[in-house]
Each structure stands twice: as C-alpha cells, then as structure tokens.
C-alpha cells in the first residue's frame, strides 16, 4: 500500500479522496493555487504545496509543477480526481515516467477512449453497438452525403473532448453547413481540435451510464447503471440508480457491453461507459467512455456499498 498520495485537484473531490486515504492510513498532499490558499482541501491535507498563480495553466493544469510537488513531498502516487488533468494521457504517462503511480487507467487506455471517432471504430471491432454514423469526414460534400445516408435529424459533434461542446443538432440539409462551421469553431476553441463526426440524432433517447472497474490482471466487472437523462445543454443535472427503464435482461446486456468496451482497451481502475438508450426499440448504443472517477460516483456507492475511491487506491497499489 502507498505511504503518501498527492491529490492533483481541489475542492470537494480533493477532500473526498483525502478522507479515503485517511481511512486507509495513507498520508495526503494537497496542491493549490494562490486563489485557493485558504480553501478547505488545503487545511484538510497532511501537507500542502503551492503550485502558482490562480490561472489553471499555472497550477492545476501544470503537469511539470504537479510532478515536481509529488517528488518534493516524497509521495508515492498521484490521484487526479476529476476534471483538470484526470483524462490527460500525457499526464498519466509523465507520472509513471517519474517513477510515481498514476491512480487511474493507463495512458494508452485514456488515449484510445479520448478520441470519439477512434473509440467508435474500436467499439465496432469489439462488437459493442454504436450509433449509426461516420467518422473521418473532411469537407462539406462528405458531411452532406453522410447526413443524407443516415437520414435527418443528425448530430454533428467534436471528435475530441466532451461536455456538450462542439455539438449541433441538424434537422434539415439547409442547416447543415452553418452547424458544421459553428461546431468546428467551438471544438477548436475548447479542445484545440476541429475534427468532427456525424451521427443519427435520437431525439427521445435516454442517457444511461455503466460504472466499470478493473484490476491489473485482466479482471473487469460492472457495478450497474446510473440514469442521467435529465440534462441542460448536454450537462447532467439529476442522476438516479437503478434506472426505471431497464429490465434485468437489458441491465445485464448493457453491463456486459460496458465490460467488453473496457476490455477492448485493456482497461483497469474506475471508468464509466456511457450509452444512448432508445426506449421504444429497447436498443442501446455506445456514446463514450470517461476514463476517470465520475463526479456522480457516490450514487453507485450508495447502491452497491462499495467505496470506489478505496478500490481505486487498492488497485493502483497492486
């Protein structure tokens, strides 16, 4: 087991991880920016290290400073929490290169699932159902043909990133060109990557995600679902579990599909596979995988009685 863990985050999730560490007898290191000098997570930790100015690029997004802080404090591992660098493959790789343990999946798994276009191709190969659509489109002519093949309405969205950014619903061909331009611009500003893909838009679909967990020996399980269809601007507002829509058979099918998705990228530690569910046809499709601890993980903990952060740490420790 680890002796000391640096938490590369702030606020609620940093304190959540610190509490788990205390319960496991592990010392904690907080990092903070000038703006967070008096924040609760700084006071809660066993020790704290200033990273820099308030701007995230000078603090919580600065990989070099975080790794330097971990070495200076003699931490064994880094827990990224959620947000900031938690799904940054380069950070995971840099942490391991510095002889520190990254508490999360491998850099290769993060990279594979971080690109929506590439992950869809991987899921198709793994036999996981995906929304009808096209990847790798480069010009308006290709988008127009793809949209006509799929049938309107369609969804144009960023190949990189998430959080509802770079997404546009298109109901008719007359709207397509403007939607592509807006989505490209937003994707470039948000993620530095203007690549787009196009999918069939399922207007009355539900959003259901499956919690998965894997160890470093190839064992993977699912911990049931979270229904997160109540959203505003593609941002989740309410989550519940179990989903009122799923039958036991569908729950098992989606759970197994989530496990297969994770196995396709040799996944270990905590992750969430998100699906779009069509309640009329009782069919589901892979949406994306979040390669980190979810904000809403306590719902799964309440349903299962399993402390996900405890198990993240145990699995990372081997």
* CA 169/CA 157 separation, integer angstroms: 9
C-alpha torsion sign, points 245, 277, 275, 157: negative
Q: Residue-wise over 268-300: b if at least 16 C-beta within 10 A, else e?
A: bbbbbbbbbbeeeeeebbbbbbbbbbbebbebb
Radius of gyration for the chain, computed over Cα atoms and rounded to the nearest angstrom: 20
- Tell me if the bond preceding 242 is cis, omega within 30° of 0: yes
SS3 label, residue 176? helix
Strands 27-33 and 4-7 turn out to be: parallel
Give the list of residues 6+ apart from residue 98 with CB closer than 8 angstroms, or none. Answer: 67, 70, 71
Specify whether 292 is catalytic. Answer: yes
Catalytic annotation, pick one of 111, 168, 226, 292: 292
Catalytic residues: 292
């Amino acid at each position: 087991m680890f002796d000391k863990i640096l938490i590369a985050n702030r606020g609620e999730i940093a304190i959540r991880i610190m509490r788990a560490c205390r319960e496991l007898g592990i010392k904690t290191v907080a990092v903070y920016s000038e703006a967070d000098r008096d924040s609760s997570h700084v006071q809660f930790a066993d020790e704290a290290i200033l990273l820099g100015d308030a701007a995230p690029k000078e603090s919580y997004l600065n990989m070099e400073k975080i790794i330097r802080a971990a070495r200076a404090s003699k931490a064994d591992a880094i827990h990224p929490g959620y947000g900031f660098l938690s799904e940054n493959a380069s950070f995971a790789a840099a942490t391991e290169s510095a002889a520190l343990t990254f508490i999360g999946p491998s850099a290769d798994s993060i990279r594979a699932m971080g690109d929506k276009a590439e992950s869809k191709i991987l899921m198709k190969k793994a036999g996981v159902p995906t929304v009808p659509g096209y990847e790798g489109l480069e010009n308006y002519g290709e988008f127009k043909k793809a949209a006509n093949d799929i049938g309107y309405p369609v969804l144009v969205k960023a190949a990189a990133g998430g959080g509802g950014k770079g997404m546009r619903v298109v109901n008719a061909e007359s709207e397509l060109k403007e939607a592509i331009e807006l989505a490209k611009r937003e994707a470039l500003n948000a993620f530095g990557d203007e690549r787009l893909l196009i999918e069939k838009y399922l207007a009355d679909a539900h959003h259901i995600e499956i919690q998965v967990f894997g160890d470093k020996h190839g064992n993977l399980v699912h911990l049931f679902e979270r229904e997160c269809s109540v959203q505003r601007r593609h941002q989740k507002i309410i989550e519940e579990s179990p989903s009122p829509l799923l039958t036991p058979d569908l729950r098992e099918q989606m759970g197994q599909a989530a496990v297969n998705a994770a196995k396709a990228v040799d996944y270990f530690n905590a992750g969430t596979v998100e699906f779009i569910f069509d309640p009329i046809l009782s069919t589901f499709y892979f949406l994306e995988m979040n390669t980190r601890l979810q904000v809403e993980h306590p719902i799964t903990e309440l349903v299962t009685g399993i402390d996900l952060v405890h198990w993240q740490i145990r699995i990372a420790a081997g």
